[in-house]
């Protein structure tokens, strides 16, 4: 029997749904898959408990993070490493060649690409220069400039933030804090329905598909209820976005608001599998399968033939263990 495809999910957390998408994809391809996962507290991670093997790692900002992953990937013959949070992307992009030398592909864009994407202000500037609509963006100095004519209210967010950390709506100058714990950007407050667009870029850098979904309901920054839609405007924006910031690879997603006055405005890019990816997967855009095809040398089957109108209604579930740690 051939060796299984071994996939490692880092910062696995609650991403049991993503693990399930990879299992389903491997089965469809006729491969055995062996899922590995790591987290700060693997015993408290649903995705780690759903994996065959799980282990503890230091924080991704720790100097020993990459060495710990490299040692594990080498010992376990990991074929694909899939990061799940923004804060680990830069360090993994800088180390991708080191993993490749051990036979592990890291699902991450180029180092230059990640550097841009992790800076929300620079991302908006790049997109604006490419002709894409983005919210007008200001610095803290802009807000404090005497006589500044600003389009209040403004939306405040960390320039390198993630997971909805540090977000705030500023109604006027009196809401601007004296100091912020990290660099911030401030953007015009957009109104209208919000969409996530899941995008797949193949290993050759070619745009293959974009799958938008309406964010009907959001909890803790992640879509809880959504519906796939086909809108040629969003597909056109996705193609422009991929061309505007070269270096993407595999799955990414971006968010936009279809403002009644300005039309669709892009305000966020995540260079990884988004939390709402299982909805795109259920609609027929099986990014997980396409990645597995790439690492196993099979012909690529990436396509744009996915179904609109597919809905995702998430709910809470649980994994139970006995006192010895065995799953019940």
* Per-residue pLDDT tens over the stretch 95-104: 999 999 999 9
Determine if residue 308 is left, alpha or beta; phi over 0 gives left, psi from -120 to 50 gives alpha, anything else beta.
Answer: beta
* Same domain, yes or no: 281 and 243: yes
Rounded Cα–Cα distance for residues 183 and 160 (Å): 8
Is 219 a member of any domain? Answer: yes
Nearest-angstrom CA–CA distance, 220 and 109:
26
Query: Domain of 277: which CATH number?
Result: 3.30.470.20
- pLDDT higher than 90, residue 135: yes
Q: pLDDT confidence of 321, banded at 50, 70, 90?
A: confident
Q: Are residues 63 and 165 in the same domain?
A: no
In terms of phi and psi (left: phi > 0; alpha: psi -120 to 50; beta: otherwise), the region of 263 is left
Read off the pLDDT band of 163 (50, 70, 90).
low
Residue 128 resides in a domain: no
Structure confidence at residue 316 as a pLDDT band (50, 70, 90): confident
Which distant-in-sequence residues (6+ apart) come within 8 Å of 113 by Cβ?
A: 93, 245, 246, 247, 248, 271
How large is the average pLDDT for residues 103-127?
Answer: 95
Q: 206 and 142: one domain?
A: no
Do 173 and 281 fall into the same domain?
A: no
Q: What is the mean pLDDT of the chain?
A: 93
User: Hey, CA dihedral for 9, 268, 290, 96, is it positive or negative?
Assistant: negative
Instruction: Say if residue 296's pLDDT is above 90.
Output: yes
Tell me whether residue 320 is in a domain: no
Q: Which tens digits make up the pLDDT trace of 37-89?
A: 999 999 999 999 999 999 999 999 999 999 999 999 999 999 999 999 999 99
User: Could you count the other beta carbons within 10 Å of the beta carbon of residue 249?
Assistant: 23
Q: What is the dihedral of CA 6, 275, 288, 315, to 10 degrees?
A: 90
Number of domains in the chain: 3
Residue 158: band (very low, low, confident or very high) from pLDDT cuts 50, 70, 90: confident
Residue 126 lies in a domain: no
CA 76 to chain centre: 25
Q: Give the pLDDT confidence of 201-228 residue by residue, as tens digits.
A: 999 999 999 999 999 998 877 889 999 9
Using CB atoms within 10 Å of the CB of residue 102, give its burial: 0 to 12 exposed, 13 to 18 middle, 19+ buried.
Answer: middle
Assess if residue 325 is contained within a domain.
no
Which CATH number characterizes residue 73's domain? 3.40.50.20
pLDDT at 168: 84
Same domain, 224 and 292: yes
- What are the beta bridge partners of residue 128? none
Mark whether 258 and 290 lie in a shared domain.
Answer: yes
Q: Are residues 275 and 288 in the same domain?
A: yes
Q: Do 155 and 182 lie in a common domain?
A: yes
Taking the C-alpha atoms of 68, 70, 76 and 82 in order, what is their torsion angle to the nearest 10 degrees?
A: 100
Q: Is residue 324 part of a domain?
A: no
Q: Residue 178: what pLDDT?
A: 81
Q: Which structural domain, as residue segments, surrounds residue 181?
A: 136-188
Contact 150/138 with Cβ under 8 angstroms? yes
Between these two residues, 22 and 149, which has the higher pLDDT value? 22
- For a pLDDT cut of 70, what percent of the chain falls above it? 98
Give pLDDT, residue 318. Answer: 87
Give me the phi and psi of 164, to 5 degrees please: 65, 20
- Tell me what pLDDT residue 242 has: 98
Same domain, 178 and 91: no
Query: 251 and 182 in one domain?
Result: no
Phi-psi region of 166 (alpha: psi -120 to 50; beta: other; left: phi over 0): left
Q: What does the pLDDT look like over 219-268, one tens digit per residue?
A: 877 889 999 999 999 999 999 999 999 999 999 999 999 999 999 999 99
Residue keyed to tokens 């795109």: 280
Q: Tell whether 82 and 101 lie within a shared domain.
A: yes
pLDDT surpasses 70 at 171: yes
- Residue 323 forms part of a structural domain: no
CA–CA separation, 160 and 164 (whole Å)? 11
* Token pair 């594990």: residue: 72
Residues 90 and 19 in one domain: yes
CA separation for the pair 17, 38 (Å, rounded): 15
Q: What is the pTM of this model?
A: 0.92
Q: Which residues pair with 54 in a beta bridge?
A: 37
Residue 322 falls within a domain, yes or no?
no
């Amino acid at each position: 029997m051939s060796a299984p495809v071994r996939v490692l999910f880092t910062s696995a957390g609650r991403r049991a749904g993503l693990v399930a998408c990879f299992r389903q994809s491997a089965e469809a391809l006729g491969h055995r898959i062996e899922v590995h996962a790591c987290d700060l507290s693997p015993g408290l991670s649903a995705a780690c408990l759903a994996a065959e093997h799980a282990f503890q790692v230091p924080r991704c900002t720790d100097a020993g993070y990459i060495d710990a992953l490299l040692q594990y990937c080498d010992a376990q013959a990991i074929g694909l490493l899939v990061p799940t949070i923004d804060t680990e992307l830069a360090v993994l992009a800088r180390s991708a060649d080191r993993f490749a030398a051990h036979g592990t592909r890291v699902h991450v864009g180029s180092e230059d690409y990640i550097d841009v994407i992790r800076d929300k202000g620079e991302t908006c500037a790049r997109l604006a220069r490419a002709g894409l609509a983005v919210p007008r963006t200001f610095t803290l100095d802009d807000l404090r400039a005497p006589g500044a004519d600003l389009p209040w209210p403004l939306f405040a967010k960390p320039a390198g933030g993630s997971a909805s950390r540090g977000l705030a709506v500023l109604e006027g100058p009196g809401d601007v804090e004296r100091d912020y714990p990290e660099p911030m950007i401030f953007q015009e407050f957009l109104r209208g329905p919000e969409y996530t667009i899941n995008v797949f870029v193949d290993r050759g850098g070619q745009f293959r598909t974009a799958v938008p979904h309406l964010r009907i309901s959001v909890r803790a920054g992640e879509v809880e209820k959504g519906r796939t839609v086909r809108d040629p405007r969003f597909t056109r924006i996705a193609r422009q976005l991929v061309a505007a910031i070269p270096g993407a690879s595999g799955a990414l997603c971006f968010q936009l608001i279809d403002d009644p006055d300005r039309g669709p405005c892009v305000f966020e890019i995540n260079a990884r599998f988004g939390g709402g990816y299982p909805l795109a997967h259920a609609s027929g855009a099986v990014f997980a399968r396409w990645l597995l095809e790439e690492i196993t040398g099979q012909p690529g089957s990436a396509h744009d033939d996915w179904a609109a109108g597919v809905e995702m209604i998430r709910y809470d579930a649980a994994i139970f263990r006995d006192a010895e740690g065995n799953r019940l």
